[in-house]
Structure 1
Amino acid sequence: MTESTMNALVSPEGSLEILSSHEVNRLKDKSEGGLYRLFRQCALAVLNTGVETDDCKELMETHADFDVHLVPQPRGLKLELVNAPAHAFVDGEMLRANREHLFSVLRDIVYSHSLPNFVEGFRKDNPEDLTNLVFHILRNARVLEAGRQPDIVVCWGGHSISHNEYQYSKEVGHQLGLRGLSICTGCGPGAMKGPMKGATIGHAKQRIKNGRYIGITEPGIIGAEAPNPIVNELVIMPDIEKRLEAFVRAGHGVIVFPGGVGTAEEILYLLGILLHPDNADLPFPVVFTGLQENAEYFEMIDRFIRDALGDKAASKYDIIIDDPVRVAQTMSQGMKDVETFRRAMQDAYYFNWMLKIDPVFQLPFEPDHDNMRALELHRDQPPHMVAANLRKAFSGIVAGNVKESGIRKIQEKGPFEISGDPALIEPLEEMLAQFIEQNRMKLPSSSAYKPCYRIVSGAA
């Protein structure tokens, strides 16, 4: 069945109305160095809000005739959409959420690709420059609010979760909203949408009219996890590493719901950073939570963390089962601790400048067959390096599962090979098998999940 489409001329919605001729030319450029393909992919993704899919390649192929053009106007610009998904419109008018998200895409793609060119001496391998790039993108998107007390709770969890798990994440969000806390997620469905939806009710009960529902994504994942309609502040970071840094720099605490490899990647990133000696005394509340039926899931995660990174890593989080009120109270107290600490250290509330992030967590990792096979997956290295390499392994599996480029690589050359010390690899293989059994790799479909990876015994 062919999906209905529409053509439309769309005006900006509060994000970006003016572009230079250079920026316009780059957005029109369909060559390797141009931004047209990237802009088209992200634009199509935000127009598919609410669609049940996590296959970016399939989305692009389904809408192969979709196009987007920049139309200069005397007072700014408009976007001409050709064969846009009809569900993004009501009675011929584009939904305001879709329109906001569309121009957020335009704003962030233009800014993140233009800024490095105008910063003298900017280096893509310099940790300070990379953190400043994250800061400037967030500031340009107006996510950073000076003077606002710490209140941003980052919620991580799977896009493929059960109905009961979704309802639980919504109740946790409700309790957070009752306490006036803001929600930041990866902006997609499942455990990324639930807390936001719950918080809207909590905020409404408290007559909070400026509730913040921040969604942070990146071009490789946005097609698989289109922004849910509750997101009212959308930010597109250049890649997964900057997306993860944006979460921990702008957020003041993290809640982790059950998820799959993407959630495991986020956990390892966070713990790898918190294990750095410079961050030992820095308050950053972290809670793992789920229903009673998720207790075994978190026991598995906890066991894997202790085995791979040590008990010190496990001391960085609390596990709270089936108690949304306690989760919200823990986060509320955590916000107060963060505020007290940052006031004493004269650090900004809106951006965690003091957090030390090792360059190994900042430099982009390209998931391909050679890089995946070469990962150093053994425990004969500092815990934060174990976390960094495991994070890359999970990032590669995410790419192979849902990202267009990763899916194509798997189709061309077969599964990624993952190799290393059996003491680390065997627990990893066991956990991945559990993710598959619990349908946490991809959204359920008519065909069984086919792994995009293969565990190879023996050291790399």
Structure 2
Amino acid sequence: MSGSLAVCVFCASSSRIDRRFVDLAAEAGAELARRGHSLVSGGAQVSCMGAVARAARAGGARTVGVIPEGLVDLEISDEENDELIVTPDMRARKGEMDRRSDAFLVLPGGIGTLEELFEIWTARTLGMHDKPIVLLDPVGVYEPLRELMKGLAEHGFTRPGAFDAISWASTVPEAFDLLERSQVRLEATPEDYAEAEL
């Protein structure tokens, strides 16, 4: 994959996390801008969401924020975005972020980040899109998730091909390299659904 991408970054909005994760988000935003991409994010100015958007803008990238109206005050919407979209709810937020994005970068986060990850991961496994998905995990936050998914595959609950739908990276440059070159298209068949759940 080459050229400019609209990269959707899923990340935390919690103010209680370790500062290194906020710094990681800022590093990702700076690298995104350096490579000439644009950002789609959760539209908040706090924590990792704010850090990735500020760093991207500082590097000259266009940023689009998408935030549900119920979280405008809680997450403090980032009015500095080039475009700020307020949706009626979380489901509409995810749909809008998906629609506007060419690729997905997932940083360490909580249950909201996991919800976003699993929805976009499931859709790619089903062949509903072929946009690259990369988990950036330099300190092993998602290692238990990786082990859980391997166990689900061993028990037949998840198709082994689900692992082909996602890439793992430990550094910011590696993550963007993977986003830019990932062109794998997954093809799901009726037999897949009969043999195993997602």
TM range (shorter): 0.7 to 0.9
Aligned to 2:23: 167
CA deviation after TM superposition for structure 1 residue 158, in Å: 1.2
- Is the CA contact 1:159–1:192 (under 8 Å) kept in the aligned structure 2? yes
Q: If you compute each CA radius of gyration, which structure gives the higher value, 1 or 2?
A: 1
Q: Distance in 2 between matches of 1:215 and 1:190?
A: 14
The reply to whether residue 299 of structure 1 matches residue 143 of structure 2 is yes
Equivalences for 1:425-436 in 2 at 5 Å? none
Residue 244 of structure 1: CA displacement? Answer: 1.0
CA contact (8 A) 2:124 2:130 kept: no
Deviation at 1:229, TM superposition (A): 4.5
SS of 1:187 mapped into structure 2? coil
Whether the 8 Å contact between 1:212 and 1:232 is mirrored in structure 2 is yes
What amino acid maps onto 1:304 in structure 2? L
Distance 1:309 1:237, change over 3 A: farther
Establish whether residue 224 from structure 1 lines up as the match of residue 68 from structure 2: no
Letter in 2 for 1:165: F
Conserved 8 A contact 1:302-1:314: no
1:177 lines up with 2:24 in the alignment:
no
CA distance in 2, matches of 1:229, 1:305: 38
Give the equivalent residue in structure 1 for 2:191. none
Ranges of 4+ aligned residues in structure 1 off by more than 6 Å:
none
Secondary structure of the residue that 2:81 maps to in structure 1?
A: coil
Structure 2 counterparts to residues 8-27 of structure 1, below 5 A: none
Q: Distance in 1 between matches of 2:149 and 2:34?
A: 32
User: In the alignment, is residue 273 of structure 1 matched against residue 123 of structure 2?
Assistant: yes
Amino acid at match of 1:192: M
Distance 1:150 1:179 in 2: 8
SS of residue paired to 1:195: helix
d(CA) in 1 for partners of 2:4 and 2:197? 32
**How well do the aligned residues superpose, as a CA RMSD in angstroms?**
2.4
Pair 1:152-2:6 in alignment: yes
1:326 match: 174
Given residue 324 of structure 1, which amino acid in structure 2 is its aligned partner?
V
Aligned partner of 1:244 among 94, 105, 109: 94
- SS of the equivalent of 2:134 reads strand
Q: Is the 8 A contact 1:153 1:252 kept in 2?
A: yes
CA contact (8 A) 1:150 1:252 kept: no
Residues 1:259 and 2:98 aligned together: no
Q: Any unmatched runs of 5+ in structure 2?
A: 186-194
The residue that corresponds to 1:208 in the other structure is none
**What SS class does the counterpart of residue 331 from structure 1 fall into?**
helix
Aligned position for 1:197: 54
Aligned partner letter, 1:268:
F
Q: State how 1:25-36 maps to structure 2 within 5 Å.
A: none
Q: Say which of 126, 133, 136 aligns to 1:289.
A: 136
**Percent sequence identity over aligned pairs:** 20
Identify if the C-alpha distance between structure 1 residues 217 and 331 changes in structure 2 by more than 3 Å, giving closer, same or farther: same
Q: TM-score, normalised by structure 2?
A: 0.79
Aligned residues: 179
Cα pair distance change 1:158/1:177, threshold 3 Å? same
Q: Indicate if the aligned counterparts of 1:152 and 1:181 stay in contact, CA closer than 8 A.
A: yes
Report the equivalent of 1:312: 161
1:381 and 1:332, CA in 2 relative to 1: closer, same or farther beyond 3 A? Answer: closer
Structure 1 distance, partners of 2:197, 2:166, is 20
